[in-house]
Amino acid sequence: METLVIKNGRILLPDGSVCSGDVLIDGGKIVEVGGVQAGDEEIDVSGAWVVPGLIDLHTHGLGWQNAGVGSLTEMAKLEASFGATTFYPTLFGPPSQSADHMCRHLHETDNLKQTPNVGGFRLESPYLAYPSGGTPADCAPISDETTRMLLAAGGGHIRLWDVSPELDGASDLIRELSGHGIVCSIAHTRATIQQSRTAVDAGARLVTHLFDVFPWPEQVDPDPDVYPLGLVDYLLIEDRVVCEIIGDGNHVFPILVEKAFRCKTPDRLAFITDSNMGAGLPPGTYALPGGWGDVLVQGSNDGLRVPDRDMVLIGSALTPIAAFRNVVRLFGKDIAAASKVCAATPARLMGLNKGEIAAGKDADLMVLDSELDLLYTICGGETTYQK
């Protein structure tokens, strides 16, 4: 493989500092950072930002593609065009349906070899206490038979699995899946603090879209003026878990995002899109394929809304690069914090050799102009998107 040099960039380093110089890439890895380098191929970025590629832990779709019924190959191209060098297509549906989708995707992509920015599958269902935007058919009780069927369909490529802690058998399942190297996430739950702590003790290390699908705590003190203690309060101070945030300012109000930043710090926050089919499209009303009906897109920060269902949200309209920009523009953080919550923290959670620009790391990078618009996406040293 030829060497590649990204020249004259403003390079974000792992400690949050910035240096001017070059990044030398060889064999899909970063070899050297800073100084003047020479390579077989050179890209002069003329003072643009060079930052780690984005990692989206939770996405159901983008554009006209859906993580279930759509083309994973086309979705991977779309993700690269919005800065994602790793993403986890997230399936939500009845168990047999999710199994069928995984089998088809694996067959069509040669076991994901043709989609190098796909990190693996995420199962948001079926082990949920309640489906929120889904239907009861999407949920199922925990059973060995269902678990084995889904693991077999995933062919060793399931990387994340959402579980409601209050379900019978939840802790045993979390312990088993964690032993397989699968990251378990607390999701769609009305669990008590103790039930959730038991799940964390068993190995749960992620919280699915914090503040969303977490009911307001019940008032137990006879005095209504006593602030009720809830599950979110515990998760904000539980250092063993990373908490996801849907970073559009709509699913989670900016003050709550700031609260999460102060409690968790960027080292234990992961910004996600939780995007669905329609995200990234220009404003308008679209008739989505697959019987989804009409969806209204008003901008990346408004979410995807269904006009004939009282404008209910069916996911976010975020793209990965829009979520990254929001950390800076909407929530007032610096580039280093944005990179942590959109790349370094997800990479560390998933055990990936990514998320930082340093010698020996995978060469997964973005090049951004001064307005944080995407110029290049580089995945494993290969240019997968160029403006």
203 is a domain residue: yes
> Given this model, what pLDDT does residue 304 score?
87
Residue 291 reports pLDDT greater than 80: no
360 is a domain residue: no
Least confident of 140-154, 252-266, 288-302: 288-302
**Lookup: tokens for 139:** 């949920």
Query: How many whole angstroms separate alpha carbon 313 and alpha carbon 295?
Result: 9
Residue 220 reports pLDDT greater than 80: no
Q: Kindly state the helix (H) or strand (E) to which residue 324 belongs, with its residue range.
A: helix 320-329
- Domain CATH code at residue 151: 3.20.20.140
DSSP code per residue over 48-77: -EEEEPEEEEEESEETTEETTTS-HHHHHH
Shared domain check, 21 and 134: no
270 is a domain residue: yes
Dihedrals phi, psi of 244, to nearest 5 degrees: -80, 150
Residue 217 reports pLDDT greater than 90: no
Shared domain check, 379 and 346: no
> Given this model, what pLDDT does residue 1 score?
64
Shared domain check, 271 and 173: yes
Shared domain check, 38 and 128: no
276 is a domain residue: yes
Q: How wide is the angle at C-alpha 367 spanned by C-alphas 261 and 183, nearest 5°?
A: 45
> Given this model, what pLDDT does residue 218 score?
80
Residue 6 reports pLDDT greater than 90: yes
Residue with more model confidence, 308 or 138: 138
Radius of gyration of the chain measured on its C-alpha atoms: 21
Model pTM score: 0.96
% of the chain with per-residue pLDDT over 90? 85
Dihedrals phi, psi of 349, to nearest 5 degrees: -60, -40
Least confident of 38-42, 171-175, 339-343, 354-358: 38-42
Domain interval for residue 31: 4-50+372-386
SS3 153: helix
Residues 44-71, mean pLDDT to the nearest whole number: 95
Note whether 88 and 59 are within 8 A (CB): yes
% of the chain with per-residue pLDDT over 70? 99
Q: Is the peptide bond before 89 cis (omega within 30 degrees of 0)?
A: no
Residues 178-199, mean pLDDT to the nearest whole number: 97
Shared domain check, 26 and 165: no
99 is a domain residue: yes
215 is a domain residue: yes
DSSP code of residue 127: S
Query: How many whole angstroms separate alpha carbon 104 and alpha carbon 371?
Result: 39
**Lookup: tokens for 2:** 């030829």
Note whether 29 and 358 are within 8 A (CB): no
Residues 261-284, mean pLDDT to the nearest whole number: 96
Handedness of CA 195, 215, 181, 101 (dihedral sign): positive
Dihedrals phi, psi of 105, to nearest 5 degrees: -60, -45
Shared domain check, 280 and 154: yes
Half-sphere exposure of 139 (CA within 13 A, CB side): 16
Least confident of 17-26, 214-223, 322-331: 214-223
Beta carbons within 8 Å of 48's beta carbon, 6+ residues apart: 9, 10, 367, 368, 369, 370, 375
Total number of domains in the chain: 2
Half-sphere exposure of 320 (CA within 13 A, CB side): 33
Shared domain check, 38 and 125: no
pLDDT-derived band at 315 (thresholds 50, 70, 90) equals confident
- Domain CATH code at residue 9: 2.30.40.10
pLDDT-derived band at 328 (thresholds 50, 70, 90) equals very high
Burial of 192 (0-12, 13-18, 19+ CB in 10 A): middle
Dihedral Cα 252, 364, 75, 321, nearest 10 deg: 30
Chain centre distance of CA 233: 22
pLDDT-derived band at 137 (thresholds 50, 70, 90) equals very high
Residue 350 reports pLDDT greater than 90: yes
Dihedrals phi, psi of 72, to nearest 5 degrees: -70, -30
> Given this model, what pLDDT does residue 290 score?
67
Closest CA relative to residue 199, chosen from 181, 219, 213, 178: 178
Shared domain check, 58 and 46: no
Query: How many whole angstroms separate alpha carbon 26 and alpha carbon 5?
Result: 9
Q: How many residues in total does the chain contain?
A: 387
> Given this model, what pLDDT does residue 254 score?
97
Residue 37 reports pLDDT greater than 80: no
Shared domain check, 118 and 39: no
Q: Kindly state the helix (H) or strand (E) to which residue 105 belongs, with its residue range.
A: helix 95-108
Shared domain check, 20 and 108: no
Residues 203-218, mean pLDDT to the nearest whole number: 92
Residues 251-266, mean pLDDT to the nearest whole number: 97
> Given this model, what pLDDT does residue 383 score?
96
The mean predicted confidence, pLDDT, of the chain is 95
Shared domain check, 319 and 171: yes
364 is a domain residue: no
SS3 361: coil
Looking at residue 169, its amino acid is G
> Given this model, what pLDDT does residue 320 score?
98
Shared domain check, 100 and 34: no
312 is a domain residue: yes
Beta bridge partners of 313: 305
Q: pLDDT by residue (tens digit) across 95-108?
A: 999 999 999 999 99
Half-sphere exposure of 297 (CA within 13 A, CB side): 23
Note whether 304 and 313 are within 8 A (CB): yes
